[in-house]
Chains A and B, each alone.
Chain A
Amino acid sequence: MSDGQVFEPKIIGFFCNWCSYRAADLAGIARIKQPPNVRVIRAMCSGRIDPVFVLKAFALGADGVMIAGCHPGDCHYIEQNYKTIRRYVMLKHTLRQLGIETERLKLVWASAAEGHILAEEIAKFVDQLKKLGPLNWRDNWRPDEAEAEAVEALAQEHAEALEVPA
C-alpha cells in the first residue's frame, strides 16, 4: 500500500443462505449503501462454516471475517446456529493463541428482514478494522510478555476445565 492511501480492509463474509444472505440481498433491494469491503461467500447454514475456513481466510490475507446467520431460535435447520456460536467462541480462543486480534472475527445475526441491521454491522466492522490496520500477521506478530502470560493463563484455564494437571 502506497503512502497517503486509506487502508481498505478486505473482509470475507460467510453468510447463511436463509437469513443473512437474504438480508444482504434485501439491503441491495432497498439500496442501503454500505462499505464495499465484505466479499460474501454463501453457505447453506452458518453451521457449515468450518473453523478452518476462517483460519484459511486469514492465511490468504483477509483482514477480517464476518460470520452471519439466522437469529438464535430462528435457524432454518432448527438449531445449527447454536453450533456456530460454540465454534465462534472456540475460534476466538484460537485466534488469540495465534496472535491475531480477536476483534477481526465478528458474528452477526440478521434475519431475512434485517437488511438495515446487516448494513450497519458491516459499516461498524469496517470502521473497527480500519482502526486495527492491516493484518499482516506474519510480520506483525511479536511474542511479548503480556501475550505469553495470556497464553499461559489460557492453557491453565483449559487444563482446569479438563481437570488435568497443566
Chain B
Amino acid sequence: MAERIGVYVCHCGSNIAGTIDVEEVARWAGANLEDVVVAKDYKFMCSSSGQQMIEEDIKTHNLTRVVVAACSPQLHERTFRRACQNGGLNPYLFQMANIREHISWVTTDKAAATEKAKAIVAAAVRRVRHHKPLEPLPVQVNPRTLVVGGGIAGIQAALELADAGYPVILLEREPSIGGHMAQFDKTFPTLDCSACILTPKMSEAGQHPNIKLLTYSELEEVSGSIGHFKVKIRKRARFVREDRCTGCGICVEKCPTKVRDDAFEAGLGFRKGIYIPFAQAVPRIPVIDKEHCIYFTRGKCQICGKFCPTDAIDYDQKDEILEFEVGNIILATGWKMFDCTRIPQYGYGRLPNVFTALEFERMCNAAGPTGGKIVLRDGKTEPRRVAIIHCVGSRDINYNEYCSGICCMAALKFGHLVLEKTKAEVYSFYIDMRTNQKGYEEFYQRLLEEGMKFVRGKVAEVTNADRTEEEKGRLVVQVEDTLTGRQRRIPVDMVILMGALEPQEDAFELARKVGISCSTAGWFTERHPKLDPVATMTDGVFIAGCCQGPKDIPASVAQGAAAAARVAGLISRGTVWIEPIVASIDEEKCSGCRICNNLCPFNAIEFDPVKQVSRVIVALCKGCGTCIAACPAKAITGAHFADEQMMAELEGALWDASEEALAAIVGSKSQQELPVIGA
C-alpha cells in the first residue's frame, strides 16, 4: 500500500521565510514527491494551531506519515511527535527537515537556499516512507542517587535529595567532605566565616539517615544508563576501622611522624603520619598516610595501634570495591588551582615570599598554620606592602583563555584582610575588575575607600634583583601601568598570585567514565548553556558547581540544588521513557563471525555459543549503530536508523544530482518542472 505523506513547511515568522521561498518548497513537494498527498506552508508550525493542523490533517487525509520542515529536531522533534500521536499516528512515523539552523540562518543566497531546502525536504519525505512504528522503552528509576564530590555543590545536592526522602550516596575522594570551601577563611562579599556556614551543612550530611557517606573513595566504573546505573566505587584503605573509631584523636596526638600537608594546608602546615585533615572534618575518622607512616615504611612503630582505646587501627586493611545501583548521577567534582610555577617570571617556588591564593587563604584562617597572622615565609615578619596579582593563568592565551570569574572578588577580600590585620599597604594589579554579582560592586567600592591601591596592567615580572636602596632585600613588581602609560617598579614584601581555577586533572577521564563531554579546557558540557545548565547530553547525569565552569559559592549552591531538583523530578515520576533507538540482530542472517562483539564499547552484544550467533542485550545498547555498519552479513539493523532509511534519505538529498535519484523521489508521480540532469 502506498503511503500518504503530509508535508508542512514552517515560515518561523521571517526566520525561514525571509531566506527560503517556503510556498515554493511546499508546492514543489506536493507536486513532485512520491506519496505526498498534502503539502502546506504555515507561519508557525510549533504553535498550537500549527500542531492542530497536523492532527486534523492526519484524520481528514488519512495520513500515514508526516514531515515537518522547520528548525532543528533537537528543538521541536518532540513537539511534532506529540502532535502526530494526538492525531492517532505512531510518533516515530514522523521526520523533521532542518531548514532553519542548517539553511535559512546560514545562507545568504535565496535561490540556493530554496534549492537546498527542496533537497532536505525530499530527503525527509523519502526517508519517512521507511519509518516503522516504534514504542519508547520504559525504564524504572532507582530512587538512589550518586553524588560525586563532597564540596559545597555536592553537599547541597545530597542534602536536598536526602531531605526530600530519597537515598543518596555522597562520594568524596579526600578523607573529609567540605572541598575547597573548608580551606577558606572568609567568604566575599559579606565576609562571614567560611567554616561557620559550611560545617553545619557538613555535619548534617554526615549524620543524615538518607545519606551514605563514602570518603577517601573514588569512582572506578560506571555502566548502565538512566534509571539503573551500576557504579563501582573503590573505597581506599584508611587503616582505621570506621565502625570502631570514635574520633578521639589520641592516635594523631601520639604519632611521632610529621609530614608537610600539601593538600589541606596547601603546603604551609604540617600533619601527622596518621591524620584528620582538619578539626571539623566529616567524618572524624583519621587516615594513615602510608607513604610516610613509620610502620609502613620501616616495619616498626604501631604506636597509634597501641594507644587506640577502641582497637580501631587495622594495619592490614585493603582497598574495597563496592558496587551499587543508582538511578541518577550528579557530578560536583569542582576545580583545582592553577600551578603557579608554570609562570616562572612570577617567581613562585623560587622566591619564598610569593604565595598562591590558596596558601594565603590558609594563612588568613585562624585555624590555619600561622593562626591567622599574615606573615612572610619566615613565619614572623609582618609585610609592609603586599602585591596581589590578578589573572595568573586566566585570560592569557598561553595558559587559559577564560576568565576564572571569582579571583577579582577573592583579591578584594584578601586586600581587606591585609588592611584589617596588618599595617601594610595593598596593591592590586588587575586587567579588568569584574565584580558583577549581588553586593560585589559595593564591596569593590568599599575597598577603594579602605585605601587598597589598584594598578591597571598585567605584571611583567616579580624579581628580587634590586636597583635602588628602597628595593634592597624586597620583591619588585615590574608592570606597565596602562592608565598612565608608564613602566613602574613597585617594591613589595609579599606577592599573592590569584591563580586560575582549572578543571580537575582527571576531568576528561571522569567524563569518559560517565559518558558526557568536556569543553576543550576540561569543564563538563551542559545540555544547553542557558536553558539547561545542570543537565548533560547523557540522560540521568547532571553536573553542579565548578566542574561545569568557574563559579562562586552562591552559584555552586544554586546548581547543586537545581541538579537535585531535576533528579527528584525523575525519581518521583518513577518511570522514564527512553528512545527505542537500539540495534537488533537477525539470527537467521548472522554467521557468527563475532566482528560486532568487539566493536561494542558497552558490551551490549553477547555471543550464543550454542546457536553460534550474536545477540543484542537491549538494556545495554545505546544505539550508536557502529555494529550495524560493520556487519558483513547485514544481519544487524538499527531501529530508526536502518540502512534502507539512510539510503532513502541519501536519494532524496541528491534528487537533483542524478537520474537514478530523481527517478526514486518522483516514483509514480508525473514529472513537473524538474531539471534535466546533466543538461
Contact = CB atoms under 8 A, between A and B. Distances in A.
A34 interface: yes
B379 interface: no
Nearest to A70: B517
Interface string B632-654: 00000010010100110111011
Contacts of B98: 25, 40
B246 interface: no
Contact of A8 (B112, B581, B625, B677): B112
A78 B654 contact: no
Nearest to A139: B678
B106 A33 contact: yes
Interface string B105-149: 111110011011001100100000000000000000000000000
A68 interface: no
A113 interface: yes
Nearest to A87: B629
Contacts of A113: 519-520, 525
A47 B105 contact: no
A56 interface: yes
A57 B519 CA distance: 33
A18 B623 CA distance: 12
A76 B653 contact: no
Interface in A27-82: 27-29, 31-34, 36, 39-45, 47-51, 53, 56-57, 59-62, 70, 73-74, 76-80
Contact of B657 (A18, A61, A76): A61
Given A24-B101, A31-B105, A80-B601, A44 B658 contact: no
B118 to A, nearest CB: 10
B653 A39 contact: yes
Contact of A12 (B101, B581, B650): B650
B630 A83 contact: yes
A140 interface: no
Contacts of A21: 74
B638 A48 contact: yes
A10 interface: yes
Interface residue range, chain A = 35 or more
A110 to B, nearest CB: 12
A1 B293 CA distance: 82
Contacts of A1: 679
A60 B108 contact: no
A105 interface: no
Contacts of A57: 650, 654
B186 interface: no
A60 B661 contact: yes
B581 A44 contact: yes
Interface in B516-537: 517-520, 525, 537
A27 B106 contact: yes
A28 B624 contact: no
Contacts of A50: 628-629, 643, 646
Given A41-B650, A44-B641, A112-B517, A77 B622 contact: yes
Contacts of A43: 625, 641, 646
Contacts of B622: 77
A61 B518 CA distance: 38
A87 to B, nearest CB: 7
A60 B651 contact: yes
B106 A45 contact: no
Interface in B648-674: 649-651, 653-654, 656-658, 660-661
A25 B106 contact: no
B100 interface: yes
Contact of A25 (B74, B657, B658): B74
Contact of A44 (B123, B601, B625): B625
Nearest to A28: B101
Interface residues of B, number: 59
B654 A12 contact: yes
B103 interface: yes
A42 B73 contact: yes
Q: Which residue, of B599, B624, B650, has the highest number of chain A Cβ atoms within 10 A?
A: B624
A41 B638 CA distance: 16
B626 A76 contact: no
A137 B602 CA distance: 40
A125 to B, nearest CB: 15
Interface string B500-530: 0000000010001001011110000100000
B426 to A, nearest CB: 38
A79 B601 contact: yes
A78 B581 CA distance: 17
Contacts of A34: 106-107
A119 interface: yes
B107 A33 contact: yes
A18 B102 contact: no
A77 B626 contact: yes
A1 B660 CA distance: 18
Contacts of A31: 105-106
Q: Which residue, of A18, A60, A111, has the highest number of chain B Cβ atoms within 10 A?
A: A60
B517 A19 contact: yes
A108 to B, nearest CB: 15
Nearest to B651: A60
Contact of A10 (B108, B601, B654, B660): B654
Contact of A2 (B74, B119, B515, B679): B679
Contacts of B105: 28-29, 31
A12 B119 CA distance: 11
Contacts of A42: 73
B581 A18 contact: no
B72 interface: yes
B601 A77 contact: yes
A28 B581 CA distance: 26
A60 B626 contact: no
A47 B626 contact: yes
A110 B623 CA distance: 21
A41 B106 contact: no
25 contacts: A24-B102, A25-B101, A28-B101, A31-B105, A33-B106, A39-B123, A39-B654, A41-B649, A43-B641, A44-B623, A44-B641, A48-B624, A49-B629, A50-B629, A50-B643, A56-B647, A59-B660, A60-B650, A60-B661, A61-B654, A61-B660, A76-B515, A77-B515, A80-B601, A111-B520
The 5 closest A-B pairs by CB, nearest first: A61-B657, A28-B101, A48-B625, A47-B626, A61-B658
Given A25-B98, A87-B629, 12 more contacts: A25-B74, A34-B107, A39-B120, A40-B98, A45-B626, A48-B629, A48-B646, A60-B657, A70-B517, A76-B517, A77-B624, A80-B626
